[in-house]
């Protein structure tokens, strides 16, 4: 992890050294020397990190402590360099006039002295690295000469007892059928993909040893791959294994070249129906290494592989591969497996351990390996609640120290060790948040960028690079997607509880972040980040002399006044994340935080910003979503580096509904990529033309300004999302037929205004995946036009003065996944033809007070997962009493009706299963309870 700190410093020095102004003076040459020294040490660091990781995985001590000490010294020196440069830049930037000139001269002398001292320290660190025999290796180094790696944990999984096989029985049958009963003359591949500990090896091992499988194939081989291998060694291993299984031994393969090994394999397999399993594949282009050696002989041969990384199968042609994504165990199956391992043959959990057992299973998250390991540990302990509680509370330390959990820790840690350095930082970042915390996609991406984790790419926006980082962590099965938007995009994510424990352990080792509260102030050491949980009393006062860069608050009920006063004394802060914090103002001194990149006040009670906010010249993200603010401070126009300006009122009670007024002069913010929920008057609208980098724009404005807005937006060639709200009387109908079209790159379009006719230009937006409209009159006519949009996934429509009948015809909306028919008061019948909306997974209807009948044709929507009747409790109660209700809706997993708003974004709801169980009297009582219940 020291490599991240080193790279961060190198990336910081590059633009500094490239500046034309004489910012560093005579110290510039010293900084150049430091950069070269760091680049040299970095190649040693790769070997040090690799050696330490291997020793930890192998369970040995050896020179690991020496390596850790060397790495820690280097990391601290990198932090020192960063602090020195940042303090110098901050001090020089404040100097003006004659006094400023003298001020700069003083700081130049100081930094020159400091840099010389740093050079000396780095030189000593480099010599120590050479003394430890660290090799100079570059970023692209591959296997390092290691052969195919056997994994003891996987060998034991291969021979696991049937009593421990739970929840995969049907999958074994399905994949066995694919192997032996399906007729594929061509060689085909079955890939089992999923996170570490899911039981991929166990599953495939059971299939491999099935009698029906053994009889079907002429020859079989099982090869364990691991993270690193040499191609020639892999080919030799396959050959030796095939020959070993028929009782032959080959002694000369070590002398053969790659081409000869491939020819030998092809010759051996050419007339055989073979099955070869490659277990634990990590290298994403693995298929390229073996595809020519495994001949396609038209004899129904099969290749099976297991992998954690979904990207592994992307190199295999779609025409020959079947991918099975292995899921975690259901709560019922997890309980069954846990009880089998913990309580022996009777599988009966004592009453005093039932709640604790459920908590333990929850932490295991459906991972069979974790359940078996922890249950095995508990089976050897007394059945006393306090002893079991102690294990839960200290699970993190037991993962790394307890011999019973060694294999579990190793399997889960492997994914971390396999990551490149920049993704290690990104994964460790999940440890900043509380356990089980679901992190919003946009928040996570912007925080990574503010932290400097995202490497610059000339061809891609840093934001897009960060999105690729997250995708890779998800594909590697290290990060779990908690929620997806209707369009399929990630909405929030988290890490598995046991992976979280491992991350927390790694964080402590490398001083990545410290959790602080009243009880652990004495444990504070050098770190760049602090995550404050519940209590903040005295925390900042205890670390006044530290060089903290990031502060996060979670589950804090109250902030003392001293906290904010002390906060602004941390001059090098880059990130202040106050989301959900109990604050109603910022101190005026916040403007002194020169290096602040990220400031979030989301869901706080801050009503206005101090004028000093205009001094935050390096601020990139300002998030004011769900605050009671009515207008921005005029000083915001000074924030020339701002990329994300985010606002949205939660209550719609401001003069601009959910938007905030922005003043003239904001056109100076030319680097803005997101400008969300702002109100623009005629004068402010003109300044929008200067914002050529905008990707997302959400505005409200008067009807008279609509034409000008669309004329400006027409030329925004990078715009991906456009949301427009016209502040009309609500009854006013707007003509959009004559306005200019947004650019073709727009993917999301929201028009909060009533229109009578869908403008032609909407139907020409071929990249559109999400559309929100308000219509007046016939919804049938509008949907007939819109159904031709080729990539539409999400469609939300509100209709006034509608037809009594809405008819969705065969072939309409072929890709649509989410449909919201909102507030159609005249609607009496909804008809869906067979073949309409075949991909629909979620349907929201209502309030539609006249809709008394079950939607006709609802049974045709075979992929529908969720059906919501919004504010239609009485109507739905009548529907569920219909004799055909169950028959027509039995294929839909989740059906519910909402009734009363709990808060602005949440409604009380009841499942139709519950409603159908109520008698008429019980239902009337429920309505009374709802009417008077205070949420």
Rounded Cα distance, 673 and 694, in Å: 4
Q: How far is CA 361 from the centre of its chain?
A: 24
CATH code of the domain made up of 152-325: 3.40.50.300
Rounded Cα distance, 496 and 195, in Å: 10
- State the DSSP code for 755: E
- State the DSSP code for 793: -
Q: Cβ contacts of residue 707 below 8 Å, gap of 6+?
A: 738, 739, 740
How many other CB atoms are there within 10 angstroms of residue 15's CB atom? 9
Q: For the purposes of burial, counting CB atoms within 10 Å of the CB of 333, is it exposed (0-12), middle (13-18) or buried (19 or more)?
A: middle
Q: Is the model's pLDDT at 89 over the cut of 90?
A: no
Angle between helices 64-94 and 28-58 (to 10 degrees): 150
Q: For 485-597, where are the E strands, in sequence order?
A: 490-494, 514-516, 529-533, 550-554, 575-577
For residue 142, name the pLDDT band (cuts at 50, 70, 90): very low
In 3D space, the residue among 691, 619, 701 whose CA is nearest the CA of residue 660 turns out to be 701
**Both structure tokens of 387:** 């002893």
Rounded Cα distance, 427 and 500, in Å: 10
Q: Are 33 and 13 in contact (CB under 8 A)?
A: no
Residue that is written with structure tokens 């400006």 in the block: 712
Do 419-510 and 152-325 have the same topology in CATH?
A: no
- For residue 99, CA distances in Å to 55, 85, 92, 615 come to 56, 21, 11, 20
Mean pLDDT of 821-834: 93
Render pLDDT for 307-361 as a digit per residue (tens, 0 to 9): 999 999 999 999 899 999 999 999 899 998 999 888 876 778 888 899 999 988 9
Q: How far apart are the first and last CA of the chain?
A: 48
Q: Under CATH, what is the fold of the domain 419-510?
A: Arc Repressor Mutant, subunit A (1.10.10)
The predicted pLDDT at position 839 comes to: 94
Q: Buried b vs exposed e over 735-757: b needs ≥16 C-beta within 10 Å? A: ebeebbbbbeebbbbbbbbbbbb
Rounded Cα distance, 367 and 412, in Å: 11
Q: Is the model's pLDDT at 233 over the cut of 50?
A: yes
Question: Is pTM beyond 0.95 here?
Answer: no
Rounded Cα distance, 228 and 221, in Å: 20
Q: Buried b vs exposed e over 52-62: b needs ≥16 C-beta within 10 Å? A: bbbbbbeeeee
- State the DSSP code for 706: H
Q: Could you give the 3-state DSSP secondary structure of residue 72?
A: helix
Q: Are 42 and 7 in contact (CB under 8 A)?
A: yes
**Both structure tokens of 801:** 């003065």
Rounded Cα distance, 49 and 569, in Å: 35
In 3D space, the residue among 522, 859, 543, 519 whose CA is nearest the CA of residue 530 turns out to be 543
The predicted pLDDT at position 20 comes to: 43
The predicted pLDDT at position 68 comes to: 77
Q: What are phi and psi of 490, to 5 degrees?
A: -65, 130
The predicted pLDDT at position 546 comes to: 80
Render pLDDT for 488-509 as a digit per residue (tens, 0 to 9): 789 999 999 999 999 998 888 8
How much of the chain, in percent, has pLDDT values that exceed 90? Answer: 47
The predicted pLDDT at position 16 comes to: 66
Range in 234-248, 563-577, 701-715, 777-791 the model is least confident about: 234-248
Render pLDDT for 406-445 as a digit per residue (tens, 0 to 9): 778 888 888 888 888 889 999 999 999 999 999 999 999 9
Q: Are 304 and 222 in contact (CB under 8 A)?
A: no
Q: Could you give the 3-state DSSP secondary structure of residue 248?
A: coil
Q: How far is CA 413 from the centre of its chain?
A: 19
Rounded Cα distance, 779 and 774, in Å: 10
Q: Cβ contacts of residue 206 below 8 Å, gap of 6+?
A: 165, 168, 172
Q: Are 818 and 793 in contact (CB under 8 A)?
A: yes
The predicted pLDDT at position 227 comes to: 82
In 3D space, the residue among 285, 306, 298, 579 whose CA is nearest the CA of residue 447 turns out to be 579
| Own/partner pairs, 591-599, CB within 8 angstroms, 24+ separation | 591/615, 591/616, 592/568, 593/568, 594/89, 594/90, 594/93, 594/94, 594/618, 595/86, 595/90, 595/549, 595/571, 597/450, 597/621, 598/446, 598/447, 598/450, 598/574, 599/623
The predicted pLDDT at position 433 comes to: 95
The predicted pLDDT at position 270 comes to: 92
In 3D space, the residue among 515, 509, 503 whose CA is nearest the CA of residue 539 turns out to be 515
Render pLDDT for 858-875 as a digit per residue (tens, 0 to 9): 999 999 999 999 999 999
- For residue 619, CA distances in Å to 148, 550, 635 come to 49, 14, 13
Render pLDDT for 571-627 as a digit per residue (tens, 0 to 9): 999 999 999 999 999 999 999 999 999 999 999 999 999 999 999 999 999 999 999
Rounded Cα distance, 370 and 498, in Å: 8
In 3D space, the residue among 526, 503, 528 whose CA is nearest the CA of residue 453 turns out to be 528
Q: Where are the alpha helices (DSSP H) in 559-665?
A: 561-567
Mean pLDDT of 666-683: 92
Rounded Cα distance, 271 and 274, in Å: 9
Q: Are 725 and 700 in contact (CB under 8 A)?
A: yes
Q: What are phi and psi of 837, to 5 degrees?
A: 45, 55
Rounded Cα distance, 176 and 313, in Å: 20
Rounded Cα distance, 107 and 593, in Å: 19
Q: Cβ contacts of residue 576 below 8 Å, gap of 6+?
A: 551, 567, 593, 596, 598, 599, 600
CA angle at residue 230 from 228 to 234, to 5 degrees? 100
The predicted pLDDT at position 162 comes to: 62
Rounded Cα distance, 935 and 924, in Å: 19
**Both structure tokens of 271:** 């007339």
How many other CB atoms are there within 10 angstroms of residue 824's CB atom? 26
Alpha-carbon torsion angle 631, 637, 643, 647, nearest 10: 0
For residue 402, name the pLDDT band (cuts at 50, 70, 90): confident
Rounded Cα distance, 564 and 556, in Å: 14
Q: Could you give the 3-state DSSP secondary structure of residue 275?
A: strand
Q: For 200-315, where are the E strands, in sequence order?
A: 219-226, 274-281, 302-307
How much of the chain, in percent, has pLDDT values that exceed 70? Answer: 89
- The mean predicted confidence, pLDDT, of the chain is 85
| Own/partner pairs, 382-388, CB within 8 angstroms, 24+ separation | 383/350, 383/352, 383/353, 385/352, 385/353, 385/356, 388/353, 388/356, 388/357, 388/360
Q: For 31-147, where are the E strands, in sequence order?
A: none
List the chain domain ranges: 2-131, 152-325, 331-410, 419-510, 787-935
Q: Are 624 and 606 in contact (CB under 8 A)?
A: yes
Higher pLDDT, 154 or 358: 358
């Amino acid at each position: 992890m020291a490599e991240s700190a080193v790279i961060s410093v190198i990336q910081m020095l590059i633009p500094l050294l490239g500046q034309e102004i004489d910012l560093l003076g005579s110290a510039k040459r010293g900084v150049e020397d430091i950069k070269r020294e760091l680049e040299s040490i970095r190649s040693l660091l790769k070997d040090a990190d690799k050696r330490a990781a291997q020793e930890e995985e192998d369970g040995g001590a050896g020179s690991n402590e020496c390596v850790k000490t060397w790495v820690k010294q280097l990391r601290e020196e990198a932090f020192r360099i960063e602090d020195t440069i940042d303090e110098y830049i901050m001090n020089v930037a404040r100097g003006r006039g004659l006094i400023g000139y003298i001020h700069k001269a003083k700081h130049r002398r100081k930094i020159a002295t400091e840099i010389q001292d740093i050079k000396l320290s780095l030189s000593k660190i480099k010599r120590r690295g050479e003394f430890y025999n660290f090799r100079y290796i570059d970023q692209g180094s591959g296997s390092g000469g290691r052969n195919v790696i056997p994994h003891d944990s996987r060998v034991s999984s291969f021979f696991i007892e049937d009593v421990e096989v739970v929840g995969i029985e049907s999958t074994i049958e399905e994949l066995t059928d694919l192997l032996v009963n399906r007729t594929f003359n061509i060689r085909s591949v079955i890939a089992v993909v999923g996170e570490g500990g899911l039981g991929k090896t166990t599953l495939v091992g059971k299939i491999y040893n099935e009698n029906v499988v053994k009889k079907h194939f002429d020859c079989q081989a099982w090869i364990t791959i691991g993270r690193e291998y040499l191609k020639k060694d892999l080919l030799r291993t396959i050959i030796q294994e095939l020959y070993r299984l028929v009782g032959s031994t080959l002694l000369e393969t070590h002398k053969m070249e790659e081409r000869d090994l491939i020819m030998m394999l092809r010759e051996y397999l050419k007339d055989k129906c073979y099955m070869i399993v490659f277990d634990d594949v990590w290298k994403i282009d693995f298929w390229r290494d073996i595809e020519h050696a495994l001949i396609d002989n038209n004899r129904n041969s099969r290749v099976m592989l297991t992998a954690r990384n979904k990207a592994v199968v992307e190199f295999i042609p779609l025409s020959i591969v079947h991918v099975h994504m292995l899921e975690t165990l259901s709560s019922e199956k997890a309980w069954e497996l846990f009880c089998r391992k913990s309580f022996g043959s009777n599988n009966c959990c004592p009453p005093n351990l039932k709640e604790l057992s459920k908590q333990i299973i929850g932490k295991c998250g459906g991972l069979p390996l974790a359940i078996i390991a922890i249950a095995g540990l508990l089976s050897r302990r007394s059945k006393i609640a306090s002893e079991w509680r102690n294990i839960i509370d200290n699970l993190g330390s037991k993962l790394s120290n307890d011999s019973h959990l060694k294999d579990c820790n190793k399997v889960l840690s492997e994914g971390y060790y396999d990551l490149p350095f920049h993704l290690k930082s990104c994964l460790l970042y999940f440890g900043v948040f509380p356990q089980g915390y679901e992190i919003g996609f946009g928040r996570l991406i912007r925080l990574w960028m503010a932290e400097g984790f995202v490497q610059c790419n000339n061809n891609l926006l840093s934001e897009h690079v960060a999105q690729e980082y997250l995708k890779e962590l998800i594909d590697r099965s290290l990060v779990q997607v908690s929620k997806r938007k209707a369009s399929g995009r990630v909405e929030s994510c988290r890490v598995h509880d046991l992976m979280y424990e491992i991350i927390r352990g790694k964080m402590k080792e490398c001083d990545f972040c410290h959790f602080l509260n009243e009880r652990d102030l004495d444990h504070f050491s050098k770190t760049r980040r602090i995550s404050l949980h519940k209590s903040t009393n005295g925390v900042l006062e205890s670390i006044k002399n530290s060089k903290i860069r990031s502060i996060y608050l979670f589950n804090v009920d109250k902030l003392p006044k001293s906290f904010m006063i002390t906060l602004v004394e941390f001059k090098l802060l880059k990130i202040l994340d106050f989301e959900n914090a109990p604050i109603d103002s910022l101190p005026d001194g916040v403007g002194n935080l020169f290096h602040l990149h990220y400031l979030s006040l989301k869901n706080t009670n801050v009503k206005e910003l101090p004028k000093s906010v205009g001094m935050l010249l390096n601020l990139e993200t300002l998030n004011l979503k769900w605050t009671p603010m009515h207008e921005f401070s005029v000083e915001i126009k000074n924030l020339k580096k701002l990329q994300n300006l985010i606002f949205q009122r939660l209550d719609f009670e401001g003069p601009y509904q959910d938007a905030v007024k922005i003043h003239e002069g904001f056109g100076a913010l030319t680097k803005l990529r997101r400008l969300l929920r702002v109100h623009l008057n005629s004068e402010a609208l003109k300044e929008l033309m200067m914002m050529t980098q905008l990707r997302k724009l959400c505005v409200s404005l008067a009807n008279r300004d609509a034409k000008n807005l669309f004329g400006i937006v027409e030329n925004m060639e990078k715009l991906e999302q456009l949301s427009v709200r016209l502040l009309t009387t609500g009854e006013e109908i707007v003509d959009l037929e004559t306005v200019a079209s947004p650019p073709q790159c727009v993917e999301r379009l929201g028009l909060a205004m009533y229109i009578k006719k869908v403008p032609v230009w909407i139907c020409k937006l071929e990249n559109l995946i999400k559309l929100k409209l308000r219509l007046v009159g016939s919804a049938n006519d509008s949907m007939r036009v819109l159904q031709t949009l080729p990539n539409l996934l999400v469609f939300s429509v509100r209709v006034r003065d509608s037809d009594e009948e809405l008819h969705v015809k065969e072939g309409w909306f072929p890709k649509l996944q989410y449909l919201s028919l909102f507030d159609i008061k005249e609607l009496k019948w909804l008809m869906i033809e067979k073949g309409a909306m075949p991909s629909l997974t979620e349907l929201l209807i209502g309030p539609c007070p006249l809709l008394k009948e079950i939607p006709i044709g609802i049974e045709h929507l075979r992929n529908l997962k969720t059906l919501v009747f919004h504010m239609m409790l009485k109507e739905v109660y009548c529907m569920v009493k219909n004799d055909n209700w169950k028959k027509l809706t039995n294929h839909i997993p989740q059906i519910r009706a909402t009734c009363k708003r709990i808060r602005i974004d949440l409604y009380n709801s009841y499942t139709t299963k519950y409603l159908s169980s109520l008698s008429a009297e019980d239902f009337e009582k429920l309505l009374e309870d709802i009417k008077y219940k205070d949420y």
